[in-house]
Amino acid sequence: MIRLQTPISEEQIRALHTGDVVQLNGIVVTARDAAHKLMIENFIKTPEIKRPELYARLKPLLEGGVIYHCGPVVAQNPDGSYRFVAAGPTTSIREEPYEADVIGHFKVRAIIGKGGMGARTLAGCKEHGAVYLHAVGGAATLIAATVEKVEDVLLKDELGVPEAFWVIRVKNWELVVTMDSHGNSLHDQIQAASEQRFKELVGLA
């Protein structure tokens, strides 16, 4: 078990390989489709930074940080604070058009989701020093139990609860490296092995 504490250094990420199990602690920021699109349009693919106040809040959270593809179920406490009730991973391939650019711009060190991502994100991980960490689908309440505190939420009213940037503090969250910074993807390897086995079973190999 490899312990990671945010912010994470590039050196720590480069030492990881597919199949490694990590225990994550510290700050994680949730971001789904609308949040990724917003970052691209306002911060990355634009001549100048739009919404500078939002950018100033996000940049220190994401530099050396972790993005989680998640649309959480959230409850509000009597004191006005929030807690995660369920926090299952979203299918990550939806963010494939955006993720490499987000990783490179913000120096994000880890992406968490389910199902893996494509060649463009894998290349971005290799170039910039990032990994993809696989979370277990169907374990939403167990994952929510690792969330010690909801530190902040950005754009909840504008984007809605599932699509907002939720800033959470996690403790001892166990995840598996399935895409590393050396160009390796367990998802690609399993896909290739499955296709080969299928050909063998139907007599095409």
As a whole number of angstroms, the distance between CA 181 and CA 47 comes to 29
Nearest to 103 by CA among 126, 82, 87: 126
Residue 176: exposed, middle, or buried by beta-carbon count in 10 A (0-12, 13-18, 19+)? middle
Q: Is 36 considered catalytic here?
A: yes
d(CA 28, CA 84): 13
Q: How far is CA 190 from CA 92, 93, 187, 193, 199, in A?
A: 17, 16, 5, 5, 14
Is the backbone peptide bond immediately before 7 cis, with ω within 30 degrees of 0? yes
Q: Which of 36, 69, 128, 134 is catalytic?
A: 36
Active site residues: 36
